[in-house]
Amino acid sequence: MEKVFHFDALREPYQADAAVVACFDHRFRLALPKYLKRNGILATDSIIVAGGAKSLASPANETDREFALGQLRTSVRLHRTPRVILSVHSDCGAYGGLDGAFRGDVRAEAQHHEEELRRASACVAAAIPEIEIQALFIDFEGIWNVNLSAGCP
| pLDDT value of position 150 | 62
The CATH code of the domain that includes 53 is: 3.40.1050.10
pTM higher than 0.75 for the full model? yes
Q: Is residue 52 part of a domain?
A: yes
Q: Is residue 113 assigned to a domain? A: yes
Starting at the edge strand that comes first in sequence, how are the strands of the sheet with 83-89 ordered? 44-48, 18-22, 83-89, 132-138, 143-146
What pLDDT sits at residue 152?
47
Q: DSSP string of 89-115?
A: ETT-GGGTIIIIIHTT-HHHHHHHHHH
Q: Which residues pair with 145 in a beta bridge?
A: 136
Residue 52 and residue 23 in contact, taking contact as beta carbons nearer than 8 Å: yes
Collect the ranges in the chain with pLDDT lower than 50. 152-153
**Rounded-to-integer distance, Cα 96 and Cα 82, Å:** 32
For residue 131, the enclosing domain spans: 18-148
Please tell me the distance from the alpha carbon of residue 117 to that of residue 136, in angstroms, as a whole number.
8
pLDDT at 107: 97
Average pLDDT, the chain: 95
Q: What is the pLDDT of residue 151?
A: 53
The predicted pLDDT at position 109 comes to 98
Residue type present at position 5: F
**Radius of gyration (C-alpha) of the chain in whole angstroms:** 16
Is 6 within the bounds of a domain?
Answer: no
User: Residue 34: what pLDDT?
Assistant: 96
The terminus-to-terminus CA distance of the chain in angstroms comes to: 53
Q: Structural domain tally of the chain?
A: 1
